[in-house]
């Protein structure tokens, strides 16, 4: 979708065709676009293994953690793309791999006073190792 023109008709869904992964990433780097890869765990066992590992680690550190659906999507976005204010559905995780991102979390309350208890906000061993 061409967000610079705010033209929702420019949104495209489907396969990328016969271009290489490098060509796709080059297009993302140069453009104002993003690509959403849905359910990579269904295509490549390594993503499924990673997904299982992440959720297992959460479950081992947060006894009350009981996910009902394990799913994954990978969003690759241009450094130039602007994502407008939106609200993701509950249960989403954001793992920023490269670059920077400014996020706002609502309600703006002290940890433990709202929906998430302090036990949910600690860093897992994998997260500590990544910092």
Which positions of the chain have pLDDT values less than 50? 1-3, 116, 118, 121, 123-124, 127-131
- pLDDT at residue number 1: 44
Helix intervals (H) in the chain: 21-30, 45-61, 118-121, 125-130
- pLDDT at residue number 111: 59
For residue 32, which of 6, 51, 50 has the smallest C-alpha distance?
6
- pLDDT at residue number 131: 44
Number of C-alpha atoms within 13 angstroms, CB side, residue 80? 12
Q: Which residue has 């920023």 as its token pair?
A: 96
Q: Which residue has 């065709």 as its token pair?
A: 17
How far apart (Å, rounded) are the C-alpha atoms in residues 14 and 1?
A: 13
How far apart (Å, rounded) are the C-alpha atoms in residues 125 and 67?
A: 19
The full set of domain ranges for the chain reads: 8-130
For residue 116, which of 87, 89, 90 has the smallest C-alpha distance?
90
pTM, two decimal places: 0.64
């Amino acid at each position: 979708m061409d967000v610079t023109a705010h033209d929702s008709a420019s949104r495209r869904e489907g396969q990328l065709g016969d271009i290489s992964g490098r060509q796709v990433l080059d297009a993302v780097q140069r453009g104002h676009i993003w690509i959403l890869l849905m359910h990579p765990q269904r295509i490549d066992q390594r993503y499924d293994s990673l997904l299982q590992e992440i959720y297992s680690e959460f479950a081992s550190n947060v006894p009350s953690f009981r996910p009902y659906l394990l799913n994954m999507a990978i969003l690759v976005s241009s450094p130039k793309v602007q994502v407008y204010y939106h609200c993701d559905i509950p249960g989403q995780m954001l793992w920023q791999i490269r670059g920077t991102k400014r996020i706002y979390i609502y309600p703006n309350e002290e940890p433990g006073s709202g929906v998430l208890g302090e036990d949910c906000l600690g860093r897992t061993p994998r997260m500590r190792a990544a910092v």
